[in-house]
Amino acid sequence: MISKKNKTRNDPISPPKFLALGFSAIILTGTFLLELPMATADGTRTSLADAFFTAVSATSVTGLVVVDTGTHWSTFGQIVLLLLFQLGGLGFMTSATWIAMMLNRRISFRERMILQEAMGQYQIQGIVDLIRKVLVYAFTIEGIGALLLTLRFWRDMHFDEALYLGIFQSVSIFNNAGFDLLGSIHGPFAGFPVYGTDIYLNLVNMALIFLGGIGFIVMFDVMEYPKCRKLSLHSKVVLSVTGFLILLGALSLFLLEYSNDATIGNMTWGEKWMAAFFQSITARSGGISTIDIGSMQQSSQFFLIILMFIGAAPGSTGGGIKVTTFAVLIGAVISMIQGKRDVVLFKKRIPEAMVYRSLTVTIIALIVLVSSAMFLSATEDQQFLVIFFEAVSAFGTVGLSMGMTPELSEVGKVFVALLMFLGRLGPLTLAYALTRKKHKDLYRHPEGRIIIG
């Protein structure tokens, strides 16, 4: 007879645990490579805390940095970063599957289960074909983006420099990583504000952020729409809520920042709208900005916090609680106000378990963020709004910053790095990874009532 202890030891690692361990392995490898002297421009060794923070930020496709990417890292270090956020954006299991398919190796059932968890799918059938499509779409979009960006940067530099910058920025922006090399051209931490009024560059970057943030499932649905004339409920929810949040964000930021000379006040009317749309889109998880976030009105900064908390779509390169979670919660509130029992979106009833899952994700995220803000308030000498903004940006894997990240203490760097890691995995996935296998209840307790409100 096999003891319960031995049986537990022989049980395979659950998909969520496997994903957590896989991301951890990538981060540790990245930390080791970035700590090497050859990874820096001046040949000195980067501190362990800075290397670890940067590796986590790249793998979690966040974009918060404690050192300037363009001036601190050598070409080797920058390529390491590019590989980290490419792996982090697509997911290491997606990348591993691609390598296995190139080697003509069969994908096992267990590996398909892990892929199902990583992609947020409800069925395992067709998961390998889905991965093939993901890779084709991702590399195609990154390639087109690299070409368009190279053509623009070629006006300011030699072709080989423009090509390298175009490839790096395309992969970074599509994966919502937020890393940029512009510090090597316009000075450390210059970022994209120097191109704030460049219509061509703004449109290309917004398109890359948008495509990376809506998720591959939605992209497939849209591409198939001309044939089947039908969109899934998931795609309808993602596209409608994403569009609503972008428009609401752009209008709000336009009105709030209209007369702020430190941001868009001195721009033309058209440039103001372009900047407002850019910040609205990038707050969903893009990580790059065309204006100084620290100079924005506090009302605008708090509005960005809300957008960052909601985040992008499931199965995308973005973070946050996800737009579908937000839609389900709003649907639940509307149903409760109307006295209805079911949550209905686009004439489809949402399962009760999905409503509970959405509520769980949101509550866990709020608990994590409130606790993190309290902790960072004790370790960092910054205003609370700056601290809370940074915490939400890290947890939502957004990468926008009000300037606090380079000034983090050693303890703060480690804590924010862990926050980015948690945000990339997703609070619910990490909770599942750290708990035992679920057991079905054999009985139900008698119903009780309490007063609400």
Residue 371 φ then ψ, to 5°: -65, -40
Structure tokens at 406: 């380079």
pLDDT of res. 262: 92
Q: Span 265-287, mean pLDDT?
A: 92
Q: Judge whether 443 lies within some domain.
A: no
Residue 56: pLDDT over 50: yes
Q: Judge whether 89 lies within some domain.
A: yes
Q: Judge whether 84 lies within some domain.
A: yes
Helix axes 127-153, 216-228, angle to 10 degrees: 100
Residue 303: pLDDT over 90: yes
**Residue 443 — very low, low, confident or very high, per pLDDT cuts 50/70/90?**
confident
Residue 193: pLDDT over 70: yes
Residue 446: pLDDT over 90: no
Q: How far apart are CA 169 and CA 183, in angstroms?
A: 13
Q: Judge whether 7 lies within some domain.
A: no
* H or E segment and range at residue 41: none
**Residue 7 — very low, low, confident or very high, per pLDDT cuts 50/70/90?**
very low
Q: Which residue type sits at 318?
A: G
Q: Judge whether 381 lies within some domain.
A: yes
Q: Judge whether 445 lies within some domain.
A: no
Q: Judge whether 328 lies within some domain.
A: yes
159-180 burial: b if 16+ Cβ within 10 Å, else e:
eebbbbbbbbbbbbbbbbbbbb
| pLDDT tens, position by position, 104-150 | 555 555 555 555 554 555 555 555 666 777 788 889 999 999 999 99
Per the CB < 8 A criterion, the answer to whether 6 and 101 are in contact is: no
Q: How far apart are CA 5 and CA 14, in angstroms?
A: 17
What's the mean pLDDT when you consider all of the chain? Answer: 85
The tally of domains found in the chain comes to 1
pLDDT of res. 435: 53
Q: Span 70-87, mean pLDDT?
A: 94
pLDDT of res. 319: 82
**Residue 314 — very low, low, confident or very high, per pLDDT cuts 50/70/90?**
confident
Residue 252: pLDDT over 90: yes
What residues make up the domain containing 267?
12-432
**Residue 335 — very low, low, confident or very high, per pLDDT cuts 50/70/90?**
very high
Residue 408 φ then ψ, to 5°: -65, 145
Predicted TM-score of the model (pTM): 0.87
Q: Judge whether 440 lies within some domain.
A: no
